[in-house]
Amino acid sequence: MMIGDETARRPYKEYYNWFQAQDPRTLAAKCRDAERIFRRTGITFAVYGQQDASERLIPFDIIPRIISGKEWRKLEQGIEQRVVALNAFLDDIYHKQEIIRAGRIPKELITQNDAFLPQMIGMKPPSKVYTHITGIDIVRTAEDQFCVLEDNARTPSGVSYMLENRETMMQMFPELFAQNRVRPVENYPALLRKSLSATAPACTEGKPTIAVLTPGIYNSAYYEHAFLADQMGVELVEGSDLRVVDGRVAMRTTQGYKPIDVLYRRVDDDYLDPLTFKPDSALGVPGIMDVYRAGRITIANAPGTGICDDKAIYSYMPEIVEFYTGRKAILQNVPTWRCSEPDSLAYVLDHLSELVVKEVHGSGGYGMLVGPAASKKNLAEFTRKLKARPGNYIAQPTLSLSTVPIYVKKGIAPRHVDLRPFVLVSDKISIIPGGLTRVAMKEGSLVVNSSQGGGTKDTWVLED
């Protein structure tokens, strides 16, 4: 927010002037109001493996993160380029595999990857869209420098927090939105429905029927599943509500079974179809993959997209972007060592206390080591893990991530953040202005995941 101690950066100027005029007691009361709003609305997430707190409120900070229109335009260009490349990459690896034949990416990284689905080889999704909804995690490392931290192409979550954060801020500080030209995000559910409808299969008659498939109330993101179905005005279904009827996937209604054209699934690949994947899955729909192969349903996101979430694939993204777009990546990757390569592994083991080590299939901040904050016991444990399964890990430097202020009892304090913009892909690409800013609420922490104690804040993209 600040340049030095006294001067606000240009995007924050109006907000900073307003903030300086506020009574701290009023702002403290607003923090309590926000918590009550979240509690009353039921904005929670589940924490697996913690019996004392299976449902938690996600911490919310009342100071917005503000991005100028100029900064956002650069981000938009880079995000769109990356999402175009991700879709082209998925189409290629499940068809001609030209990137492998060109020697730009090792064959075994694809064919031996747990997230690669042989069942998708030769399959063309309706409208040729694989990643209907994508979340790109971005960090700021300098005044005019943004890097992609990871890609979320399987079932990206968090958009409900983005929407609820904005609604809460507008409810508590309406005067700020009158003073600052903040681009809207509240039209996301309508855009999502429109985008999903545009990818409906050719057999669709009339207005497409859309449903959201959830694993159920015990899933960590169930609140979001229910929220999005409600906001789009579509049915929220579980696997037990669905069956294959006359070659279509149909949902149970009071008038019998009704065919579904587009299924926005929040169930992982392995559980989608017990006849194709895990035979003991009770979360999916027996036979849905046969209907999908016949082109009679759209599954968003397409099965097999999870390979783009793999952190070893991430390390090749600059090459992937250039291969499919013909241009250098606008948004750079964080420097990454692939521990599967002997020289990289040797470097990582020698510098373990300086690096962040992540599992290639890890998510939610689990299974990672932050070297500078690790104990000798943790470092020794990860040394053993790396030597035993080097291909399961990548390593990155601990970046000097940007900070933004959060409101604390003593006033404001800096905390590290990342940004997850959400991208909708159909016959066009729509990028929601801003996205979800996740913030490490603990002083000095670099981990922003809600499951690890991170919080969120509203993200403002300003009109020029």
DSSP 234: -
Nearest CA to 213 among 138, 303, 130, 119? 303
Q: Average pLDDT for residues 74-91, to the nearest whole number? A: 97
pLDDT score of 448: 76
pLDDT score of 362: 66
pLDDT score of 5: 76
Which tokens belong to 383? 């040394």
- The answer on pLDDT for 261 being more than 90 is yes
pLDDT tens sequence across 154-188: 999 999 999 999 999 999 999 999 899 999 999 99
Alpha carbon distance 110, 43 (integer Å): 38
Alpha carbon distance 425, 413 (integer Å): 37
pLDDT tier at 441, thresholds 50, 70, 90: confident
Higher pLDDT, 186 or 400: 186
- The answer on pLDDT for 291 being more than 80 is yes
* pTM of the predicted structure, to 2 decimals: 0.91
Alpha carbon of residue 313 to chain centroid: 16
- The answer on pLDDT for 53 being more than 50 is no
Cis peptide before 449, with omega less than 30 degrees from 0? no
Cβ partners under 8 Å of residue 292, min gap 6: 123, 299, 303
For residue 35, the surrounding DSSP H or E stretch is: helix 24-41
pLDDT score of 287: 97
- CA distance to 16, 330, 366, 412, per residue, from 449 (Å): 27, 26, 9, 21
Contact status, residue 183 vs residue 433, Cβ threshold 8 Å: yes
- The answer on pLDDT for 366 being more than 70 is no
- Listed in sequence order, the DSSP H helices in 94-187 are 98-101, 107-111, 159-172, 174-179
Radius of gyration of the chain (CA): 22
Contact status, residue 94 vs residue 128, Cβ threshold 8 Å: no
pLDDT score of 142: 83
Lowest mean pLDDT among 167-171, 219-223, 347-351, 428-432: 219-223
Alpha carbon distance 154, 131 (integer Å): 8
Cβ-based burial of 279 (10 A; exposed 0-12, middle 13-18, buried ≥19): exposed
Nearest CA to 292 among 183, 213, 182, 400? 213
Quickly count: other Cβ atoms within 10 Å of residue 113's Cβ: 17
In 191-277, the DSSP E strands lie at: 210-213, 235-237, 242-245, 248-253, 256-259, 262-265
Alpha carbon distance 449, 283 (integer Å): 26
Residue with structure tokens 């104690």?
453
Q: Average pLDDT for residues 434-438, to the nearest whole number? A: 94
Alpha carbon distance 235, 228 (integer Å): 10
For the chain, the average pLDDT equals 91
Cβ-based burial of 143 (10 A; exposed 0-12, middle 13-18, buried ≥19): exposed
- CA distance to 22, 402, 462, per residue, from 399 (Å): 34, 9, 27
Alpha carbon distance 103, 174 (integer Å): 55
pLDDT score of 97: 97
- Listed in sequence order, the DSSP H helices in 233-297 are 288-293
- The answer on pLDDT for 361 being more than 80 is no
User: If DSSP codes are grouped into helix, strand and coil, which group holds residue 32?
Assistant: helix
User: If DSSP codes are grouped into helix, strand and coil, which group holds residue 68?
Assistant: coil
The domains of the chain, with CATH numbers, are: 2-201+297-332+400-461 (no CATH), 202-296 (3.40.50.11290), 335-397 (3.30.1490.270)
